[in-house]
Every structure is written in C-alpha cells, then in structure tokens.
Amino acid sequence: MENGNVNTTVSEFTMLGFSILGHFWPLFFMVLLIIYFLTISGNVSISVLILFDRHLQTPMYLFISMLSFLETLYTTVTIPLMLTCIWRGKVKIKFNHCMLQMYLLHSLGITENYLLNIMAYDRMVAICNPLRYHTIMTSKHCTILLSCCWLLGFTSPIVHLASVLKLPFCGPNTINHFFCDLSPLLKLACTDITFTFILNFLISLCIISSTFFFIMATYIKIIITILRITSMDGRKKAFSTCASHLTMVLLFYGSLAFIYIRPKVDYILDYDKLVAINYSVLIPFLNPIIYSFRNKEIKNTLKKFLKRKLTFTTTFMSHNQTDIMKSS
C-alpha cells in the first residue's frame, strides 16, 4: 500500500480486542450489547423528545439534544467493532477503514469537547446575566456556536490523521486494542515516532487544557455569582442546573487527560483499554441518566409522551375489540 511517498506492506490490521476475557467473553458480550442498546435508545429518546416538544425549544435543551446526538454517533463508531472483537476473538480491519475510524473517533470527541464548553458558557450567561440571557443566547447565536463546534471538531484531527498516514507500517500489524486509536497505532510504526508523538501530544494538550481552563473559568464566575444569592433555595436551584454538566465534564476530561496528554511514549495498553471503556462506553451510557433524566422538564415530557402513547394503545385495542364483537 502506498501513502504519500512512503511504501508500506500493511494493508490491514488485526484487532486483538479483549484477549484476556477467556471463558467470560459471552457474559461480557451480553453486558456490552445491553449497554449499547440502552445507550442508543436513551440518547435517541432525549433527542427526539427535545426536538418535538415546543416547551423544550430553548438553548439549554438544544445543547443537551446535540450532546445526546453526539454520544449516539460516538458509540456507533466504536461499540459495534468492540462487539465483533469479542464475538470473533479478533477481527481484521482494512488500513483505510482503520484511519477513518480513528478520524471519526477524534472528530466526535473533539466536537463533544467544544460542545461542553458551549454548555458551560450557556450556564454562565443564564446564572450571571439572567436578564440578558434571551438577548445573548438567540437562535442565530446558538447556530453559530454549534456550527463552530462541529467545524473545529472535524478539522482539528486532520493533523493527527496526516501524521499517522506519513508513518511507514511494515509489520507487525496487530493492534492490541478494540478500536483504531492514535496510541496503539503509533506503536506499530516502523520508524522513530518521537517527533510524531510530541507533535500530537502538544496539539492534544493545547486543545484539552485550553477548553478545560475555559470551563473552570466559567464555573469560578458561576460560583461567585451563586454565593452572592441571599436565598438558600435560589442557591440550590442555580447550582442544580450546573451539577450534571460539571459531573460530565470531570468524567470526560479525566479520561481524555489519561489517554491523550501523557508526556511519555511507553505505556501499558491494558490500562488504555480500561480508560477507553470509560469514555467510549460508560460516559455515553451515563449521559441520559446524569444529564437528562435528572432534569424535571425532560422527565415530565417523557411521562406525558408515555401517557399519550399508553392512552392511544388502549383506545386502539378497545376499538379493535369492539369491531371484532360487531363482526361476530
């Protein structure tokens, strides 16, 4: 295979996946399959509810809906290959498909990173400037913010992708992981990866640290504003609107920091797998629970939707029974 000016002999990779599961692989497969189903159904339900309920057509719920949509895409990129690895023991993936998965993995992750920043900004405006909130967070402003979020998310990983494509891969072609990511791929390069590693480390450090510090700065301002509220109920209400988001931020950035901004080339891949399960499986699964289903408006909307559906089903069945009785 030829990439740029570098001749490579590797046309596909072999993904080892979870080689240490042994006889427990059927149990792990079922657990992961159930989690995948619940993740997709939970996040899709939230997106649909917010999309079709006019009471939830506000910036905050728009961002929550977008977060759920991102989590749905992210798990779709990673978990199916993980399930295949568990089912078959190992799986082969073409070089180009591996590069595409790595690009989508990083693009969606960086997009979510910027989206969490937008959500922090939204909460800061709502709490620190409540009277100007609707004039600042207009539909046009929200559209621009989300567009920038997606644009930056899908352009930032191009450097990562280009740096990997320039590396020679002449064997071995076995990836000790369950999806194509930067760290395990760099281990397979047939050349010194010090420069590539430092370049990607600095880019990741810049993106993650700058966005994380921005979120921390917004929360410092939010906390200062909350402490000035004289009413205890007012403080609790203001803080409750931020608690779920802050939980997601800590989980998200904690995982990213461990994987992408470690200042050394050598590492233990089994630990990477554990952290990868955290940000590719558990965080998307917990998103509907932590961020959305704890929200009163979303819970009330869900209850109304289920109640209408139950009423419709009961009415439909009663009409069918009446028609059957008449025909008999």
pLDDT at 151: 96
- Identify whether the C-beta of residue 59 lies closer than 8 Å to the C-beta of residue 137: yes
Q: How far is CA 322 from the centre of its chain?
A: 49
pLDDT at 4: 43
- Which pair of structure tokens corresponds to residue 163? 């740096």
- Which pair of structure tokens corresponds to residue 69? 């949509």
Q: What percent of the chain has pLDDT over 70?
A: 83
Query: What predicted TM-score, i.e. pTM, was given to this entire model?
Result: 0.85
* Span 77-122, pLDDT tens digits: 999 999 998 888 888 999 999 999 999 999 999 999 999 999 999 9
Query: Which domains, and CATH codes, for the chain?
Result: 11-321 (1.20.1070.10)
pLDDT above 50 (res 153): yes
Strand (E) or helix (H) holding 109: helix 95-128
The mean of the pLDDT values for the chain is: 83
- Identify whether the C-beta of residue 138 lies closer than 8 Å to the C-beta of residue 57: no
* Span 157-202, pLDDT tens digits: 998 899 888 888 887 888 888 889 888 888 888 888 888 888 888 8
Q: Binning pLDDT at 50, 70 and 90, where does residue 260 land?
A: low
- Which pair of structure tokens corresponds to residue 262? 């470690």
